[in-house]
Structures are given as structure tokens and as C-alpha cells.
Structure 1
Amino acid sequence: MTNFLQQTLIHRDEHFIVINKPAGLLSVPGKGDLTDCVINRLLVDEPSTLLIHRLDRDTSGILVFALNKAAQSHISKQFQNRQTNKQYHALVSGHLSGEGSVEVPVNYDPTRPPLHIADPAYHKPALTHWQAVEQFEINHQPVTRVKLTPITGRSHQLRVHMQYLGHAIVGDELYASAAACELMPRLCLHAEQLSFFHPVTGQTLNFVCPAPF
């Protein structure tokens, strides 16, 4: 077993593997020579590794990969049909209290790649529930610890929705202010919890990986 798998492994059986993706590492190969990524590292240990879903490069946390075609199809359909339960942990700029939802479509902005924007006129819905957990300060700047539950899974959805709410995620070089980016050396967004049905037994599985910030 490689050091990467030893350091990131959460669960493995004959059908799928669950890891804790580090921040700063692509889930799949990028453009050009950007070949270092999670799936290529896993293929060294598990040549049958198959993609199910992704996390942004700078987001850390739970990722699941299939180890056979049947498991890939079964778990992928759960994501597509919104049968999974996902929860993220984030630090956002400013003080936020209570809980609520952001329901506004997220659309790719071709004039400023790779940015996405909140676009009420776009035809695909996007919905995020949020809950404030704790208010505190970093370097005398107000921040809030929040739990984020995406109901849909659009690209950059959580990052755009929190910016739209006026509380961009700390360390987000695409959507936060320069001051908010200076507070932490990374994007403070972590996929903390994921539940889905086992592709063979049908048992409900729940994986939790606490945020490192």
C-alpha cells in the first residue's frame, strides 16, 4: 500500500473505497500536464479504481471511488437521484447566525474561467441549506463556522452560494476578498459527511471525516 492510501484511507471493501482527499490535489487529471490527482494515485494500489464523483482541487474531505462497474453504476445513480446525504464544514467571512437556504442557479461564466456565478435566469436549479455553528475571530476578523448541505451538486455551488449570501468562504481565492484569503492558507471547505446505500447489501452507510480547521 502506498503512503498516499495509508494516509487517506477511510474505508475499503471489494466494491468501493472511501478516502479523505487532501486540499490542493485534483480529483481527476486536469488540462495539459496536470496528471497528479487522486484517481491516478489510487490506481497504483487499486488498478480497477473507477470515478463516481469529484471534489474541487482546493476542497478536502470524503471521496468515494468504485472498484467494479456494478458498484460504479449503483452508487453513481444514487448521486444522480439525490439519494445520498452530503454535509460540508466551512469557515465563512463575517458573522452569520441561525440557519437558512440559498436557492439560486449557478452558471459557468465563460468570460472569466473557471469562475461560476449566481444566475437567477439559468435553467438548472441549485439549492444549499446552511446552519451557523460558531462565531469567532481570526486576526481580529469576524468568521463563522457553518455546516452546508447541498441538495443539488452544481460546480462551485457552495462557494458561489456563500458569496451570494455575502459570506464568502475563508481562503477562497476565486470568490472571497483578499482580506478573507489572507486569514487561512487554504480554502476552508471540507466534505465532512457522506451517506449512501451499499451497492450490494443495500445497507445505509455513513462516513464522517472531521474538518482539519
Structure 2
Amino acid sequence: MTEFRYSPPADPPRILHADHEILVVDKPAGLLSVPGRGEDRADCLIARLRVLFPEVLLVHRLDLDTSGVMVFALTPHAQRVLGRQFEERQTKKVYLARLWGHLEPKAGRVDLPLIVDWPNRPRQHVNHEIGRPAQTDWRVIRHDLDGTTRVRLMPLTGRSHQLRVHMMELGHPILGDPLYASGPARNFPRLMLHAESLRLRHPDSGKHMTFTAPCPF
């Protein structure tokens, strides 16, 4: 396995929404949400946003290789309210993914508990004894001519790498996944996973709002 070298895209963050409490952006694939270990991984989404919004505060994260909708807080109040919504599973997240193989049936749910695979960090794995509950709903959009499947994934919980491990456990890893795909399924230019939409309640008005970002693949 070749050594990983962090080489984030140079494109500036695409702002989807900004007001007095929240900031919503479309994170590109290949960019860390927050700084990693070492000076070579200091460049990240929140650092770039801080140039324009010095008060920006973290609410949640997306994996390095995942693109799509992320919400940030612009006040401590918004950070608390939004953080509680994520913790209490009051947000609704929808992802788009391309999977290896022909996934059937048309819809279903994966209910497999997950925990970090300590000898192989940052990988996660299924553990029925000490794993934390994790559920993912899926719905097939279409089966492509190249033998892959395009799906929408709706996580009911928010475990690390949840969608990636759950799809691997179905026998249909996400294309381009450097951790959980192998062989031809891995040979794609990026992880084919995109946070398409996020529904939440605005921390000031309490109004439900849905933010979307177009899928780049």
C-alpha cells in the first residue's frame, strides 16, 4: 500500500447559506473537516472558513473523502442547539453513493453495531458484543450498465464510517473507498459518497430548513 499524502483541493469553500447563527457549506472531497495531526494537515475546511467567518464553530464532521453538506455554528448558542439536534438524532441526513455490484432488494435497512478496529485504526468493524448500535436505511436509485448501483443512504445513527462499513457488510462496498473496498471496486479517483442533503431546525427561529448540494459524480 502506498503511503497516504494529504493533498487537499485548492478550490475555495462553496457557501450554501449564511445568516446570523449558522453557516452551511458544500465540502469538497479530499479536504479534512478539521485539522489533522501534523503541520502538513493543518489545511482544512474550518480553517478556510475562519478566514471569512472568524467566529465559526464546529458542529459535526464529514470524512476526508466524503463531499457534501456541512453545517457550522456562528454563535455558541447555535453550536449548543445544533449539537443537541445531532446527538438526539433530530436531523435528517441523506447521502448519495455508488456501490460495487448489483444491490438487491430495492430498499432495506442495515442494523449492525460498530466499534473501532483498534489494531487497524481508523477502520471500524462490526462487533455484536461491544459495538455501538448503528442503523442505515438504503434505497436503490438505479442499476448502472457497468454493473454498479447508485443508492440513497439514510443513516439513523452517526457512527464513524457507518455508511462505508454497512455497505461493505452487504457485499457492495462504496466505489473508491481506500479503507473498505478492494480490487476493481477501489480503483476510482475518489470515494463515491456525497452528503446530498441535511434537514435541521434553525437554532434561532426553530424553523425546519433543508440544505442540498449537487452530487459531483
Q: 1:13-64, CA deviations, whole angstroms, 9 ceiling, x for partnerless residues?
A: 0101000000000000011121010000000110000000000000000000
2:18–2:24 CA contact under 8 A, matched in 1: yes
Shift of 1:120: 1.6
* Structure 2 unaligned spans of 5+: 1-10
Q: Secondary structure, in 3 states, of the residue corresponding to 1:129?
A: strand
Is 1:112 paired with 2:120?
A: yes
Is 1:77 paired with 2:81?
A: no
State how 1:40-119 maps to structure 2 within 5 Å: 40-97=47-104, 98-119=106-127
Shift of 1:137: 3.5
Give RMSD over aligned pairs: 1.3
Question: Which amino acid counterpart does residue 198 of structure 1 have in structure 2?
Answer: H
Moved more, 129-138 or 146-155: 129-138
Give the percent of matched residue pairs that are identical in Structure 1 and Structure 2: 48
State how 1:176-195 maps to structure 2 within 5 Å: 176-182=181-187, 184-195=188-199
4+ long deviations beyond 4 Å? none
Q: Which residue of 1 aligns with 2:5?
A: none
Q: Which residue of 2 aligns with 1:204?
A: 208
Q: What is the rounded CA distance, in whole Å, between the counterparts of 2:126 and 2:48 in structure 1?
A: 34
Shift of 1:118: 1.5
Q: What is the rounded CA distance, in whole Å, between the counterparts of 1:15 and 1:56 in structure 2?
A: 24
TM-score (norm 1): 0.94
Aligned pairs, how many?
Answer: 206
Shift of 1:122: 2.1
Question: Which amino acid counterpart does residue 21 of structure 2 have in structure 1?
Answer: H
Q: What is the rounded CA distance, in whole Å, between the counterparts of 2:101 and 2:113 in structure 1?
A: 23
Is 1:11 paired with 2:9?
A: no
Q: What is the rounded CA distance, in whole Å, between the counterparts of 1:59 and 1:13 in structure 2?
A: 25
Q: What is the rounded CA distance, in whole Å, between the counterparts of 1:66 and 1:133 in structure 2?
A: 33
Question: Which amino acid counterpart does residue 99 of structure 1 have in structure 2?
Answer: A
Question: Which amino acid counterpart does residue 211 of structure 1 have in structure 2?
Answer: C
Q: What is the rounded CA distance, in whole Å, between the counterparts of 1:40 and 1:123 in structure 2?
A: 33
Q: Secondary structure, in 3 states, of the residue corresponding to 2:120?
A: coil
Is 1:122 paired with 2:118?
A: no
Q: Give the alignment partner of residue 137 of structure 1, picking from 142, 145, 155.
A: 145
Q: Secondary structure, in 3 states, of the residue corresponding to 2:20?
A: coil
* Structure 1 unaligned spans of 5+: none
Change (3 A) 1:18 1:108: same
Q: Which residue of 2 aligns with 1:36?
A: 43
Shift of 1:67: 0.4
Q: Secondary structure, in 3 states, of the residue corresponding to 1:111?
A: helix
Q: 1:142-176, CA deviations, whole angstroms, 9 ceiling, x for partnerless residues?
A: 10000000000000000000000100000001001
Q: 1:167-210, CA deviations, whole angstroms, 9 ceiling, x for partnerless residues?
A: 0000001001121111x210000000100001011110011112
